[in-house]
Amino acid sequence: MTGFTSSHVRSTALKASVAMDELKSVLNEADARIGDGDTGSMLARVLKALADRANADKSETVGATCLVLAQTAASSTGSSLGTLLATGLMSVGKATQENKEVDWSALGGLLAEAQQKMAARGGASLGDKTILDGLHAVAIAIAECNDQQSAAEAARRGAHAALDEFRQKPNRMGRARMFANATIGLDDPGMLALAKLIEAIANDSQG
């Protein structure tokens, strides 16, 4: 096997939900500095719903599993971040509906397309210091990766590099934009969530 399958998608959903048990308070604290303080709790709720659905999913194609999870994400939250997650999953799902296996080398392009769809849905642009900037960095970082281990490590580096790059910039979207320069020096909660979840999933896969 040279690519990822629906089993990889389901496994990632399960790992992400488990990781949120430890990350929830960290993300809530980060969000409390510039928002409502509920990013961790919201993601924990959504990822738990995705994990439960993944456990019951019997889909044979990557796209079918992603589309099922997209529907679950959409019905599990009304938050902007949850909606973006559903949009991203829908994008990947539509692009891989017929694929029982997808080459790892195609993952970067799939994430890049998902990021564009998420931007169109949410109205944010690259440079606004949102999860989209983190996802963009990850898509670029894994573009040349041909296996799970290299993709996981590259994704980790990309997500953390984006955090470092944008930390000293102001947030320009969502409630955080009202704090303007006060957000300089702080991590965007969505970007932080992406980086922390990728790190947890990567560590679990290598362990």
Q: Give the model's pLDDT for residue 77.
A: 84
Q: Give the model's pLDDT for residue 146.
A: 95
Q: Give the model's pLDDT for residue 1.
A: 57
Q: Per the structure, how many domains does the chain have?
A: 1
Q: For residue 194, list its beta bridge partners.
A: none
Low-confidence ranges of the chain (pLDDT < 70): 1, 175-179, 205-207
Q: Give the model's pLDDT for residue 22.
A: 92
Q: Give the model's pLDDT for residue 152.
A: 96
CB environment 55-75: b (16+ within 10 A), e (fewer): eebebebbbbbbbbbbebbbe
CATH code of the domain covering residue 9: 1.25.40.340
Tokens representing residue 122 in the block: 């949410």
pTM > 0.85: yes or no: yes
Domain limits for position 193: 3-206
Q: Give the model's pLDDT for residue 177.
A: 63
Rounded Cα gap, residues 128 and 187, in angstroms: 12
Q: Give the model's pLDDT for residue 120.
A: 96
